[in-house]
Amino acid sequence: MNWQRVWRSLRAEFGRSPMAKLGVVLILAVFLMAIFAPFLATTNPKAQDLSRANEPPVGFTDTTEDTRLVDGERQTVTVTTRGTLEYPLGTNQLGQDMYSRLLYGARTSLLVGLLGTAIAALAGVSVGIVAGYYGGRVDDGLMRFADVMLAFPALVLAIALIGLLGPQPVDIPDPFVAAGLVSDMPETTVLPVTVTLVVALVNWVWFARVARGEALSVREKNYVKASRSLGASDWRLMLKHVLPNSLTPILVLATVQVAVIILLESALSFLGFSGTTLSWGFDISQGRDLLATSWWISTMPGLAIVVTVIGINLVGDWLRDALDPDIEGESGGGMG
Amino acid sequence: MRLTRFLLRRTAQGILVVWGVITLVFLLRFITPGSTIDFVAPLDASPELRQRLAEDLGLNKPIYVQYADYIVNLLQLDMGNSLLKGRPASDVIFARLPATLELAIAATIVAILFSIPLGVISATRRHQPVDYGATGFSLIGISTPNFWLGIMLILIVGVNLGWLPTSRRIIGFGPALELLVFEGRTIGIQVWFEHILLPSITLGTYFTALITRLTRNGMLEELGQSYVEVTRAKGLPETLVKYKHVLRNTMIPIITVLGLQMGTLIGGAVITESVFNWPGLGTLIIDAINSRDWPLIQGSLIVIGVGFVVINIVVDALYMYFNPQVTFE
Amino acid sequence: MSDDVILRVSDLSTRFFTTDGQINAVESLSLEIEEGEVFGIVGESGSGKSVTARSLIRLIESPGRITSGTIEYRDADLADDLREDHPGAVDGEFVDLLAIPEKIHRGLRGTSFSMIFQDPESSFNPSLTVGEQIAEAVEVQRRASSNPRSTRARTRSSEYSLRSYAAAAVLPSRGYVSSESKDRAIELLQQVGIPDPEQRVDEYPHEYSGGMLQRAMVAQALAGEPDVLVADEPTTALDVTIQAQVLDILRDLQEETGMTILLITHNLGVIARMCDRVGVMYAGEIVERGSLGDIFDRPTHPYTQGLLGSIPDLDAAGGRLQPIGGNVPSLLDAEMGDRCYFADRCPKAMEECLEKPAEYPAEGTDDHAAQCYLADHPYEASQALPEDYFEESEPP
């Protein structure tokens, strides 16, 4: 693998493609949002203020009719609420600030997306390389198992496993709060462990397929055959030759998988399986019953997902166009 | 014949995969924390009642006996009784199946109807406004979570414009068709159509976007092949060059990807059903999981697994039809 | 020249507009091809031969474009047919192929001209049978000639259209290639020496060998009974014995049908075996032309001399060109300048060569001419350019 050449073609494609630039900008923005959420947030995303519930975003007004008792008589009053800068994206039915929740939601999405992809890649690449390198019965067995895994639609399997195992959330302390740099923000970020493991479990197969294909072709290369005949150990050969050669397609696949897993996580949160309430999918589900009155509660987090995933897909397109790996199955697991 | 032999072989493989699915589904119950009997027995049940219930359900037998029983029963299409509804799980599942099938088929039709023409137009008018439009649409389409898209459709088309109903399935396609054929009344089909339109757009958009993208990229790649020039050189009309030769070959990679994406379709159906309160397998499975209704959970998962295997065999057969170089040896 | 000219190309330029700049692949090219002859164009790869071939049947795709010139094709009936609607395109019996609408031109492809391409393996659609692809070409011609609405029906061949294809997809019994065209495909396969044509006709390209595919391509090109066959490196992808067989088939068919062949190759052995007259191409221009004897026995242009000097045995069909010192120019407009393009590689370059040379008649037949100052002037060592002249003056 010639890293210099990879770097050059990445740069050339980046210069050529305005879409690649847009993708990188979007992703950087989402990352910064997620990392510095405690500084950027204006209110604690979990703080409730029922007196300020269902306020529209700034620039919008919301008119509702309310029945009140005035001097012992029932009267219908029209209540107009105007969005304020205090809650730039409005509030939900608990009076929580949608903007701050959006920032913290980015943390959950990226955490699960990156960690889930990393675990899936590690597991899938190991299995794939072993299967492709040894071939024969090992290969047959592992790949038939992969087929069975593929026969379960990812979302259905994930729902089943999480529903049955429970979300098992783990609290990760927020370093900024711990260091005393900010106060009045959540002290921990919740990592939904089951969700992370399950999205990895349902997506490792894609990595296994790609890694296996690469290993199969590398195995037949002369320099690998030569090293083997000189007595190099299998593990050494796999680490030294097979792995580096598989990296380009795996990198492209991993990028796309982050998007897939973020979509999957949001779907699970939407269905109430995630174990954290600071999640875009969860917020969308909260706004679902209030569509007629408070459209923004579902709309805003959805837009955040779309923008994030578009960014990742654009970066994926950039890597694919620049590195041109041959990956079967286009975008991997899809969104379900 | 090539196709028959292939189908036999593929069916045999499919049965193996289904067996694997059944085994995994069976084992799922044993890796789940908490004893099954806790979910079945009333909270104040006496140890004797618990014991009796466990015996009734065969829960105290060794695991391999339970497994063997399970397989034997399955072969007779007996998935056990739903703990929640007290009816055979298979009855519950097959009552819900048509709703899911209708939704999946409608979404597939929506996707194919729009995506392939869009992809072809996009590829043949490269760098023109229609191409940018189609490329933008497909990027947004593959990046939008479908449950959110469904909610936005409900918000705009259902709530704000009031054009279409936003949930439930009043009538199935079968009864609606009967109404039309035997009584000549179109109201059934109309109601059916109004209810399925938004869910099928919700489920179909991702696939429309994905296939548009694949068609466009595939056509562009295929148009660069030498045989296209040869075909033009022999005087074939351009429409035939594009549709008979190029599009046909573009179908090969599209079908491959579609085969790999069928799980997405089924998973997407689950969540779409949940958004639109669509009474299909998806909502059933979520209810079953929330109430630990094991026979129902296992049965639905197996039906979905079988459906997936069948779809994949169909996809492979299509693939073979389009690509004569494949021998599946 | 004589009345037998069937194709008259004048001042043809084809350019490609790429992100790296404008590429002049064919530069003011003129030539005349006589009916029934085999005309060869020879040159190194990158000299613009293939683009010339594609220009002749108007198969230049974006970013390429034919920017100037005329390609006149002699066909009295066609000329009569078009005289009224496209007076600008008709000159006597000649029709300017670049001035007629694409739709009419398409009707001529396959029936008036057809083309054999370089790489047989990639020249067939892998997912249709070879027979069907040949039958398509037969069908194009059959439907054209059976159309009674026009005396020159072959300009209206679009009847074999998407509609009939769609109809056939719905009704499998109504094949879009008829049984007649399939029979004809079998006949054609037999003609080019494919064994078991009845069985082979239903096989797919991947079931054929390279040599058989190239024969099948010859069959496909002949399906429309063309007047002019353009063969672009028809044997390059084949091994030596197969090359000879394919060339023999081409030669036999040419003698049988009297068609005109424009043969494009980098292989002088092929030229020697096949051609009546030859044009030597360099950097998008024909630098020397003449009869086979003129070129081989009395080469005048130093480039031609270099080419000939570089093959050991003319009779060896596989004799490939040894590159002459230096490289073929990039054809980038910005780097071309206004001089003899060969001067930087020419062992006899003189100061005069820094200007564009005219075409001078050369010794031999009337046709023999070379675009070289030396064809008309003696070499004078005193005016020779220093050897490193171009290394210094040209940008790196």
Predicted ipTM? 0.85
Listed by number, the residues of chain A in 157-186 with a beta carbon closer than 8 Å to a beta carbon of chain B are 159-161, 163-166
What is the reported pLDDT for B136?
A: 93
Does A148 lie at the interface with B, CB-CB under 8 angstroms? yes
Q: Do C160 and B229 touch (CB under 8 A)?
A: no
Whether pLDDT at C55 is above 80: yes
Q: pLDDT above 70 covers what percent of chain A? A: 95
Interchain CB distance below 8 Å, A148 and B145: no
pLDDT of residue A52: 78
pLDDT exceeds cutoff 70 at B86: yes
Please tell me which of the candidates A144, A306, A336 has its beta carbon nearest to residue B263.
Answer: A336
CB B304 within 8 A of CB B266: yes
Q: What is the mean pLDDT of chain C?
A: 81
CA distance A140 to chain B (A): 12
3-state secondary structure chain A: CCHHHHHHHHHHHHHHCHHHHHHHHHHHHHHHHHHCHHHHCCCCCCCCCHHHCCCCCCCCEEEEEEEEEECCEEEEEEEEEECCCCCCCCECCCCCEHHHHHHHHHHHHHHHHHHHHHHHHHHHHHHHHHHHHHCHHHHHHHHHHHHHHHHCCHHHHHHHHHHHHCCCEEEEECHHHHCCCCCCCCCEEEEEHHHHHHHHHHHHHHHHHHHHHHHHHHHCCHHHHHHHHCCCCHHHHHHHHHHHHHHHHHHHHHHHHHHHHHHHHHHHHHCCCCCCCCCHHHHHHHHHHHCCCCCHHHHHHHHHHHHHHHHHHHHHHHHHHHHCCCCCCCCCCCCC
Q: Using a CB–CB cutoff of 8 Å, tell me whether C109 touches chain B.
A: yes
Task: Please tell me which residue of chain B has the smallest CA distance to A311.
Answer: B143
The pLDDT value recorded for residue C173 is 40
Q: Is the pLDDT of residue B208 over 90?
A: yes
B-interface mutation test, from A148, A161, A285, most B Cβ less than 10 A away? A148
Interface of A with B in 9-68 (CB under 8 A): none
Q: Which one-letter DSSP state was computed for residue C382?
A: G
pLDDT for position A263:
92
Q: What is the pLDDT of residues B249-262, one digit of tens each?
A: 888 888 877 777 77
pLDDT > 80? residue B37: no
Q: Residues A249, A250, A254, A260: is their CA dihedral positive or negative? A: positive
pLDDT mean over C99-115: 85
Confidence grade of residue C314 (pLDDT, cut at 50, 70, 90): very low
Note the pLDDT of residue A310: 95
pTM of the model: 0.81
Residue from the list B16, B148, B266 with its beta carbon closest to the beta carbon of A336: B266
Q: Give the pLDDT mean for B275-290.
A: 89
- Chain B residues within an 8 Å CB radius of C122: 225-227
Give the chain C residue whose CA is nearest to the CA of B246. C125
Task: Test C162 with B252 for CB contact under 8 angstroms.
Answer: no
C-alpha distance from B90 to closest chain A C-alpha (Å) = 18
**pLDDT at site C169:** 55
The answer to whether C57 contacts B233, with C-beta atoms less than 8 Å apart, is yes
Residue C383: which residues within 8 A CB-CB, separation 6 or more?
C350, C351, C352
Q: What is the pLDDT of residue A326?
A: 53
Looking at the predicted structure, is the pLDDT value of residue C237 above 90?
no
Only one residue has tokens 């897993």, namely A261
C140 contacts B244? CB cut-off 8 A: no
CA angle B228, B231, B233 (to 5 degrees): 110
Q: What is the pLDDT of residue C174?
A: 42
Q: Is the pLDDT of residue C148 over 60?
A: no
Percent of chain B with pLDDT over 70: 95
Residue C164 — very low, low, confident or very high, per pLDDT cuts 50/70/90?
low
More confident residue, B77 or C312: B77
- In the predicted structure, residue C326 carries a pLDDT above the cut 90: no
CB count within 10 Å of CB B74 equals: 18
- Cα C307 to chain centroid distance, Å, stands at 20
- Residue A95 touches partner B, C-beta closer than 8 Å: no
**A150 and B21 in contact by Cβ < 8 A?**
no
B29: pLDDT strictly greater than 90: no
Q: Is the pLDDT of residue C47 over 60?
A: yes
Size of interface A-B (CB pairs under 8 A): 171
CA distances from B264 to A151, A234, B308, C205 (A): 11, 37, 10, 36
Assess contact for B250 and B66: CB atoms under 8 A.
no
Confidence of residue C391 (pLDDT cuts 50, 70, 90): low
Residue ranges in chain A modelled with pLDDT below 50: 327-336
Which among A166, A328, A331 has CB closest to B256? A328
Q: What is the pLDDT of residues B131-189, one digit of tens each?
A: 999 999 999 999 999 999 999 999 888 888 878 877 777 788 888 888 888 888 888 88
| Minimum distance, in Å, between the CA of residue B204 and any CA atom of chain A | 12
| DSSP secondary structure code for residue C394 in this structure | S
If you average pLDDT over residues C228-250, what whole number do you get?
A: 86
Q: What per-residue confidence (pLDDT) applies to A328?
A: 42
Give the residue from chain C lying closest to B320, CA to CA: C127
Beta strands (DSSP E) in chain B are none
Query: With contacts defined as CB-CB under 8 Å, which chain A residues touch B136?
Result: none
Between residues 75 and 94 of chain A, which touch chain B (CB distance below 8 Å)? none
Q: Which pLDDT belongs to residue B43?
A: 67
Average per-residue pLDDT for chain B:
84
> Among B17, B154, B264, whose Cβ lies nearest the Cβ of A147?
B17
**CB-CB neighbors (< 8 A) of C167 in chain B:** none
Mean pLDDT of C238-249: 85
**Confidence check: pLDDT of C147 > 60:** no
**DSSP class of residue B241?**
I
pLDDT of residue A336: 35
CB contact (8 A) between residue A336 and residue B21: no
Contact B235 C117 (CB under 8 A): no
